[in-house]
Structure 1
Amino acid sequence: MKKTVSYWLIALWFLVMLISYWIFLPPINIFSVAFWFFVLEGLCLAFGVIALLSLGGKVQQITFQVPGSRARKVVSAPKPAFGKALSAISFAIAAILLILGASTFLNSRLFRAKSYANVIKVKDADFTSDFPETDISHLALLDRSSAKKIGDTYLGTIDKVSQFGISDDYRQVTIGEQPYRVSPLEYKSFWKWFSNHKDGIGYYVKVNQTTGKAELVKLDKGMKYSDSEYFFNDTLRYLRLKYPTVIFGDPSFEVDDKGNPYYVATTYKPKFMLTSNDPTGAILLNAVTGETKRYDLKDVPKWVDRVFSANNVISRVDDYYTYQKGFWNTVFSQTGVKKTTDIYNYISIGSDIYLYTGITSATADSSNLGFILVNMRTREVTNYKLASATETAAQESAEGEVQEKHYEATAPTLVKLDGKAYYLVSLKDAAGLVKSYAIVDAEDYQQVTVDNDIETLIAKFTDSDTSALSGVTTNSGKSAEKVKVITGVVDKLASQMISGSTVYYISSSGEIYKVKATTDTTDSLPFLAVGDEFKGELQDDNYLTKFEITNKK
């Protein structure tokens, strides 16, 4: 009976450990913290199993003197075999925890600040002469949420629409040097997977970030490997079983320049003992065939857009600018300490995706000292020196220009037009739909130009051909509505200050129109009088833009 219980407890230990491995999938690698936590879990469970076995095992009587008296006390304790096992496991658990704690502490930035600062190298350059001129035809206008709104409208066009949804991935990639957001379809539930997994997932969505046009791409053969698969075809589990000792991150969906779907899993190795994982390469998984191949960093195919994560890039850049003079300098004098700003975005240059963000001082004021551009496949970092406003300041300035409409500014896109730096900002309404665009002068963020038509807006700042932006769609997936031009005669006129800006109220033919005074409105606006003829483009809340006085009384 006792042996039977022992066998059952040992079998239960194996079962729990197997289930734990199936769920958490830790790499069998001594340089992985996840592996050591898995080992600790096994040791703790083993301690419990042996402790339970010892309760039913043979015991020995131990007599000891009660301190401070002549009395003796007899207690029962496990036989030495169990006692030694429990002691050994306890020692192993304590040793692992001590090693993990000591490794983390001794390899922290407190002791190895300069080592962290030197993980990457940053090349300095001049923005005016070295930063690439923005290619209008490859301008990424849509952020992730906007692309998702457009892409999700195409789900109803597929067969078996009730069986699938569209993944929330919408990862930014370049296909033939054009910026896209791509996302695969996914099974809506286990039972819908059970009914359809033999044929696989036959579609993915791609949204052109320049034109806003979406396409539901039908594959010749369905994807048999994805994040929504179960059991052995789940991407993370499939790769873990093929590469049990490799440390890698969650696979992310990408497509090559021919439109073939892949999952890309970045491989890692700790930089300092067991801490600070840093990419070493990538594993590519063909989502249709299941074929995999592992690459070192220098050999990763050029169509792969993002090997390095934004968190890794920003963390390394912050370390570089923060710890050049050691840890304690960041606490006291903060000499030369800089950091990245709170907002970052991506831009496409050629066939690569670049992360950019501003570099500001440790005091985090509203000005940047320059910008960094980071290739997300190679992590080559270039710092472009240019005194400018922060991205947050640019957002606030753009929102202030249309404050009466309560639009919300998206993360700015850094553009260079005719040799000058600007922030391009999309302005969304409460429903999350892009209603207008703003260009903010990066060096003087109070200079803001707003227009509902992106082609017209960009054309004001560059001589480049802007025809690629003609007919850019909105988040609804439909072309922007035709602008209504209002003409009339001023019957009555009044004005008032709203949040620091003068708004003119024009009564004409029973309607009241509003014109907000900005740097772009005509200089003759303050001299507008009853009887004057005018025209302008009608916007929300009866505001007029591109206002002109056509015939002065």
Structure 2
Amino acid sequence: MVYLLSVLSLTLNPFVWKKHYRKSKFLWIQALRLAAGLLIIFFVSYIGLVDHTWQAFLSYGTLFWGIFLFLDIIYLKERFVAVEMLCGVCLLLFFSYLHFIYPLTVTKAKYDFAAAKTTVVSREKHSMDEQHIPVVPEKYARYKSEKILGELAHVSYYELGHTSLQKIDGQLYWVTPIEYSGFFKWMKSHQVPGYIRMSAEDENANATLVKRAMKYVPSAYFSENLQRHVRSHYKSPILFRPSFEPDETGKPYYVVAYGYYQKLRQIPDIEGVFVVDPKTGTIRNYRMNRLPAFIDQAIPSNVAEQWNDWYGENVHGFWNKLFAQEDIKRPTAWSHSDEVNGVFDHKLNLNWFTDFTRPKSGSGAMVGYSMLNTRTGRITYYSGANGLLNGKSAMNVAEKTFKQNKYEAGIPNLYTIYGQETWVVPLMDSNDVLRELMLIHAKNENVYSAETDKRTLFDNYKYAVATKLGSDSSVPTNQALLKKLVGTVTKVYKYQDSDTRQTVTQFMIQGSEKIFTVTSGQNPYSVFLKTGDKVSIQYIDTKETVSAVKDFTLQSKQ
């Protein structure tokens, strides 16, 4: 039905038709105009996948209709042609107003929209479980995934799609769908072999190929293109950027968020998602309040970026944004990356994270940060982070620490670790190979740990927090404290660490349920520890079962 709009490309003046309809030149011109109208609708509807709504017609149709009306200038001497041209000019002016002036008038409305979704709190009260803190950067995951891709048969047919952080069966993974590398490769294949996943929590894990044939993917063409397939079934909703999401069993799905615009296509709002089985093409429609549990990302990152921009910069309207800049805060802009990063909270809910800085160029401190829940669209803004290191400053600290190695810092993420706002920063070499991991205290950059393995990284950070911030009133009294314990050993377990070539001794002390860990590098006498020995230790007391020993004394032997 949308192609019927192509008649608007014809000359609509009946007096012109009455005088010229017998002339072959006139008919050829009309045929060419009709063909142009059909071609425009094809590109806008089939290629651009624009929604079939009256707002879309106002946004796009007024431009083309105005041009076609103005083209009747060649019949200017005919009756009412001048009126046609005037209507065409009015449509072109309306199009210009709609796209260049009207957006400025709804600046405050955009802020109000984002503010209605936002809750302001002082700081995050819950510490993140270190087991589920991703330490593997996206670049390194893609580096590993490229190696797996290179092992495929007909490897030239495929390339890596967009890599995203996903929760699968309670663990965090980097997930990368395989896509076609071009039109002719799609013609020869008509399905991709699956996707590649790699643990985001274990820096020593390898990427693996999950073999699941997929037909309907974003890089396919014609009816097999994912979004075109969805559009063929649902004409009216706005379709947003799709996300690739395997369920808890590893079965892949594509999630295409949909919604509608407010204020004449200026404010996008998400109302639900279409969940597509990429093998069969089956589409299921879910509203936002009834999302399947396995879906992590219902709000696309580009929509989250817009909402954060509006909340930070549009607070007092357009003129304040341009001149006075009162109360303005700007999200950090990353080069070669999205403005927001995926961060899982202590409940393993995915959030889009971004930190805000002052409008002043080169500011190294944040004024706050936001977490946008990707399933609900609700935003939590943490105002108590004012004065903390921003993400770019954390990257600078990390890169300067390893200046001699010329490592490049990956995109950092902010977590509450042991009650402290902490930047997690991976460092890679020029080949995107992960070399070091850093935890940097967001309030005091001199409190940090840098290691090659996650376990030691967090153990050392506990010690740094407990010792270097011991007099800081911000350190919680129930977490990350250095404590002393004297007692009799009840259980002992020893093993050889293949990386450090040290003997690791784990033991328990009578009256305590904690498992203590000490290495032969810390105290060579620890290798002689056995049940019944009396020891004196200092350790970092946290809520975790396993605690790192910082001072070990073997007082007596059985």
Instruction: Decide: shared fold, TM above 0.5.
Output: yes
Q: What residue in structure 1 maps to residue 159 of structure 2?
A: 166
Q: What residue in structure 2 maps to residue 512 of structure 1?
A: none
Q: What residue in structure 1 maps to residue 246 of structure 2?
A: 255
CA distance 1:283–1:111, shift in 2 (3 Å): closer
The whole-number CA distance in structure 2 between the counterparts of 1:7 and 1:358 is 56
The whole-number CA distance in structure 2 between the counterparts of 1:201 and 1:280 is 30
- Unaligned stretches of 5+ in structure 1? 55-76, 466-479, 486-521, 523-553
1:266-281 to 2 correspondences below 5 Å: 266-281=257-272
Residue type of the partner of 2:138?
R
Q: Is the 8 A contact 1:47 1:89 kept in 2?
A: yes
Which is further off, 288-297 or 387-396? 288-297
Q: What residue in structure 2 maps to residue 419 of structure 1?
A: 419
Q: What residue in structure 1 maps to residue 376 of structure 2?
A: 378
CA deviations over 1:131-164 (Å, ceiling 9, x no partner): 4312222221223221111112112444x33463
Q: Is the 8 A contact 2:242 2:300 kept in 1?
A: no
Residue type of the partner of 1:13?
A
- Aligned equivalent of 1:132, options 115, 126, 130: 126
CA deviations over 1:233-277 (Å, ceiling 9, x no partner): 111222222222222123332222232222222223222233233
Which is further off, 272-281 or 11-20? 11-20
Question: Does 2:173 correspond to 1:149?
Answer: no
CA distance 1:481–1:270, shift in 2 (3 Å): farther
Q: Is the 8 A contact 2:272 2:288 kept in 1?
A: yes
CA distance 1:265–1:97, shift in 2 (3 Å): farther
Give the paired residue count.
436
Shift of 1:109: 4.3
Q: What residue in structure 1 maps to residue 55 of structure 2?
A: 31
The whole-number CA distance in structure 1 between the counterparts of 2:171 and 2:141 is 15
CA deviations over 1:469-505 (Å, ceiling 9, x no partner): xxxxxxxxxxx994589xxxxxxxxxxxxxxxxxxxx
Q: Is the 8 A contact 1:249 1:266 kept in 2?
A: yes
Q: What residue in structure 1 maps to residue 94 of structure 2?
A: 99
Q: Is the 8 A contact 1:177 1:348 kept in 2?
A: no
1:41-80 to 2 correspondences below 5 Å: 41=64, 44=67, 80=78
- For normalisation by structure 2, the TM-score amounts to 0.70
* Higher strand residue share: 1
Q: Is the 8 A contact 1:322 1:339 kept in 2?
A: yes
CA deviations over 1:518-549 (Å, ceiling 9, x no partner): xxxx9xxxxxxxxxxxxxxxxxxxxxxxxxxx
Q: Is the 8 A contact 1:393 1:445 kept in 2?
A: no
Q: What residue in structure 1 maps to residue 36 of structure 2?
A: 13
Residue type of the partner of 2:167?
T
Shift of 1:8: 4.6
Identity between Structure 1 and Structure 2 (%):
22
The whole-number CA distance in structure 1 between the counterparts of 2:283 and 2:23 is 48
CA deviations over 1:389-447 (Å, ceiling 9, x no partner): 11111111111111111111112122222211211111111222111112211101233
The whole-number CA distance in structure 2 between the counterparts of 1:95 and 1:47 is 10
The whole-number CA distance in structure 1 between the counterparts of 2:333 and 2:440 is 18
CA distance 1:236–1:43, shift in 2 (3 Å): farther
Residue type of the partner of 2:91?
I
Shift of 1:218: 1.4
- For normalisation by structure 1, the TM-score amounts to 0.70
Larger Cα-atom Rg? 1
CA distance 1:89–1:155, shift in 2 (3 Å): farther
Q: What residue in structure 2 maps to residue 454 of structure 1?
A: 454
Q: Is the 8 A contact 1:415 1:423 kept in 2?
A: yes
Query: SS at the partner of 2:162?
Result: coil
Q: Is the 8 A contact 1:417 1:461 kept in 2?
A: no
Question: Does 2:436 correspond to 1:436?
Answer: yes
- Aligned equivalent of 1:179, options 169, 172, 177: 172
Shift of 1:36: 3.5
1:145-544 to 2 correspondences below 5 Å: 145-158=139-152, 160-162=153-155, 164-197=157-190, 200-211=191-202, 212-219=205-212, 222-331=213-322, 333-343=324-334, 344-349=340-345, 350-363=347-360, 365-384=363-382, 385-386=384-385, 387-462=387-462, 482=499
Shift of 1:2: 4.3
User: Relative CO higher for 1 or 2, CA cutoff 8 Å, sep ≥ 6?
Assistant: 1
Which is further off, 318-327 or 371-380? 318-327
Q: What residue in structure 1 maps to residue 469 of structure 2?
A: none
Shift of 1:79: 7.1
Which is further off, 385-394 or 327-336? 327-336
CA distance 1:229–1:341, shift in 2 (3 Å): closer
Residue type of the partner of 1:299?
R
RMSD of aligned alpha carbons: 3.3
The whole-number CA distance in structure 2 between the counterparts of 1:194 and 1:310 is 31
Shift of 1:217: 0.8
Query: SS at the partner of 1:308?
Result: coil
